Structure 1
């Protein structure tokens, strides 16, 4: 594990990262060669090697939760002063935040990545916008299918961030499916209320859109259940 930085060193890293990110965008558009970036890239390499030694996805996520604070000063500096220079550290940490369950932090970076058109390293084979839509959606669907809840806010933020970005219909369908399923989760005939009916209406719209984009997305049964609950709520208020 890399040596932990002192508060003073973290402050200096934040300042150095911001200065490097601002200068790089005006120079060659890439962070390569900047001392702050190269230090973080070297640390990233060490952490990747550690992660390769772990087979369990659950334990990988836990390891990422422990090491992500090491990158916080660098990320804060880049997001505060950066102007869109290409940055493999930033895009990788964005995904690690998703994996670690810090969706708000991941989306905060994602907004910068999409705004400035940063690209993902070649090994990902997908655009940044596609990853921002798909990665949280896949994590959400995995949790929801296991019977767990999942916060809908980061999914809605992913939709907002990537709204105008091009991606395969299947990828956007997956995001709409995740949003609709998350909104409907936990609502049943015993807890129908005006607020829950509002969530169900939104869920119905997102699930319908998911099916329009990808007929085999897997949302048809969920949509049928949502619409049954909406009809039950309407009937109870018209009775």
Structure 2
């Protein structure tokens, strides 16, 4: 279901106004309406067990949130916005990694947190979800842009998270770069190993070291 151009414009304006308000964004009627929409879509997703089907539904519903997201980002809204946090996660699941990272960067800059039902903080969720997206693509023999993982590393910076989570990101980056940039791949796999000895990259490191030795 797509919104009419008039509704899209109205939603974006509401988002900008809400984001610029001095008080809590929660008092904005536009935000309340978006939370209602979010609740409706979350209930729909909760009734489905298939991960593939859920991803398809997320692709279908995400366009409804674009004007709101664009409005908040355009206004550089600093108030916590749970709608954007769900959209960030859904964008990863739907394969819109660039869109997810755009929200992630904004959320981290303003110190936002994930909604109450989440146990992970923003940076941990982003690191793990992007690492898993790359891993799943490789397992499906599909390409994954290493720049997306480099951007993720940049977004999370030195923020606190479990070492295992950061290791997962370096591991996926090492795997993605194995063929095209073996030296860089080795560096990321070694970083993963330093962070988490049990992350399962020992053989990958040995193979890459051998490959680099033979090439030189």
Pick the aligned partner of 2:153 from 159, 162, 166.
159
Q: How many residues align?
A: 216
Q: Which has the larger radius of gyration?
A: 1
Question: Aligned partners of 1:77 and 1:105: how far apart in 2?
Answer: 14
User: Which residues of structure 1 form unaligned runs of 5+?
Assistant: 188-195, 235-239
Q: Distance in 2 between matches of 1:171 and 1:40?
A: 31
Name the CA distance, whole Å, in 2 between partners of 1:11 and 1:224: 55
Q: Distance in 2 between matches of 1:38 and 1:4?
A: 20
Counterpart check, 1:221 vs 2:203:
yes
Using the size of structure 2 for normalisation, the TM-score is 0.95
- Structure-2 residue corresponding to 1:20: 18
Match of 1:102 among 90, 96, 99: 96
Point out where structure 2 has 5 or more consecutive residues left out of the alignment. none
Offset at residue 49 of structure 1 (A): 1.3
Q: RMSD over aligned Cα, in angstroms?
A: 1.3
Contact kept in structure 1, 2:12 and 2:68, CA below 8 Å: yes
Distance 1:83 1:49 in 2: 27
CA shift at 1:222, angstroms? 1.8
Q: What's the offset of the Cα at 1:206?
A: 0.5
Q: CA shift at 1:76, angstroms?
A: 0.2
Please give the alpha-carbon distance, in whole angstroms, between the structure 1 residues aligned to 2:201 and 2:136.
14
Residue 80 of structure 2: SS of its match in structure 1? coil
- Rounded to whole Å, the distance in 2 between the matches of 1:81 and 1:172 is 31
**4+ residue runs over 6 A deviation:** none
Shift in Å at residue 220 of structure 1?
Answer: 1.6
- Does 2:212 align with 1:233? no
Name the counterpart of 1:36.
Answer: 30
> 1:53 Cα deviation (Å)?
2.1
Q: Distance in 1 between matches of 2:26 and 2:142?
A: 42
TM-score (norm 1): 0.86
